[in-house]
Amino acid sequence: MSFKSLGNTSYFRQDTMYSKTGCRTCKIRKVKCDEGYPACHRCVSTGRACDGYAVWGGDLPQSMSAPCLAISTVEKQCLDWLQMRTVTKLPGSFRSEFWSRLLLQASRHEPAILHASLALSAVHKTVVDGEARMDRFVLRHYNMAISHLNGHFAANDTFSIQVILIACIAFVTLECLRGNFVAAQTHIQNGLKIIEAQKYKQDSLADDWIMEVFSRLEIQVRLLNSLSTSSPRHSFDIPRRFRSRKDAWKSLDSLTNNTLRLRSKPVGSSGQTLIARQTILRRLRRWQTVYEASAIFHGISSEVDEVAPTLLMAHHTMATIMAELCLCSDEMAFDSQNHRFAQLMDELQRLDDIGKANPDALSPGPQKGRSIMDLGYLVPLYYVAVKCRVHVIRHQALGILDSVSHQEGIWDPKTTALVSRKIVELEEQDFYHQPHERCLPASHRIGDIKVLRERDPTEKIFLIASERSVAEYDVTLYIDVIAHCYSIHISCELDIISASPYKY
């Protein structure tokens, strides 16, 4: 079995592009397909039903009701929920072919992914609808997925690696929805290790879609704590024009990840590392020029339309600050980026205003189902709060964090707000109570911080600081001091999911 290759889909396309593949209807008619989503323009314009696309295992039937693998009535209901609710909710502001195509199609043909998808769908349905928990159902399919994966680990071929990585993403999502963030991070790190060890090549669209998800997950983990990885991955050149906002997002992901990977290298940079930093900064400038010149930047007609471009610019601003300072160990250097922090905060405030006016704009769906797996504005808000030492700006970020209700992957809002506020308290202490004090001195600033959860479900969070000794901190009654670790007891302040993590 192998993946079929599809042409790239453009969502805000100004010119028509064709590929050798297309929707099932156009294939039967033997006509060119423009591969629009969710239905191609050729079918819609001629009044025909567009039967969709196929990537995995041949043509995709119109409904999940006739899977290639035998399933029960309850399992069919879970697959229908996966198709209609889960995969439309989790991608966030940017549509993801991994969710809308690859996971759905693979779950129809590959047992390991089918069982992982059933477990994920059952958990998501419980979170959204608040129905009776399906723990036995979830556990049974979780274990069956792992059992089927054993054969793929033994085979270790290209197709098996794809199956493993798709299932890994499903497991990450499931654990995030259950509040088991330690297990979710473990899955992410194991997936990244497989990618590194296999020197994973993106030879098909399926590979591209898998790597797109892992790229976002890698950013989420790196901003919590460092990963021991090799040198930055190859970053492709910025094109002359972005065909869609999603193309711009994928390009920015690559630059952000390369910056974070560069930041994890030891201080005492070699000439090659300095060149890599300059290359990233040059490409970030090029990215902004191309994005602003692209047609996708214009024509915003509603608040919902405004979310994607504002979110893009916020992440670009954050990535630029990181790139400027990724090889600098002096916390005072962040003051040189105060103008960018102010710009970033303006962009984040705009997103928050949109979210308050229209909650579905940032995270569509019912209140209990507002979790997404993509990057949103939690990460930039956290970055402003812990790295900008302008009192007004960082407290503005804290104020927004306190009001955020949706989860973004392994970043849950309550924990993020609590950690951010505790870091600010440790740094500022009573500094601003003194007259004429404006600039937080180096002696008060904390360097790079790793955020580690003790176990699932979350009861303690450890903040590991690298720059200052324990004796220098004003430790409150809410913090236990162990060497350079600070554990914040948050069990009374968070809604903790009571179930234990699954045992493999």
Mean pLDDT, consecutive 10-residue segments, the chain of 504 residues? Answer: 37 38 75 70 75 54 50 89 87 83 90 95 86 82 94 90 95 92 92 84 81 91 67 65 86 91 66 88 94 67 68 95 91 96 96 82 50 87 95 96 90 89 88 74 84 74 59 32 42 32 34
Structural domain spans, the chain: 1-53, 63-222, 444-489
Question: Which pLDDT score is estimated for 317?
Answer: 97
Question: Which pLDDT score is estimated for 13?
Answer: 36
Judge whether 207 and 240 are in contact, CB under 8 Å: no
The CATH number, out of the four listed (4.10.240, 1.20.120, 3.30.70, 1.20.58), of the domain defined by the range 1-53:
4.10.240
CATH fold match for the domains 1-53 and 63-222? no
Question: Which pLDDT score is estimated for 282?
Answer: 94
Complete DSSP assignment for 192-238: HHHHHHHT----SHHHHHHHHHHHHHHHHHHTTS-----SPPP-PPP
Domain range 63-222, CATH class: mainly alpha
| Coil vs helix vs strand at 171 | helix
Question: Which pLDDT score is estimated for 360?
Answer: 66
Which amino acid would we find at residue 22? G
Question: Which pLDDT score is estimated for 433?
Answer: 76
Question: Which pLDDT score is estimated for 437?
Answer: 59
Question: Which pLDDT score is estimated for 436?
Answer: 60
Judge whether 382 and 416 are in contact, CB under 8 Å: yes
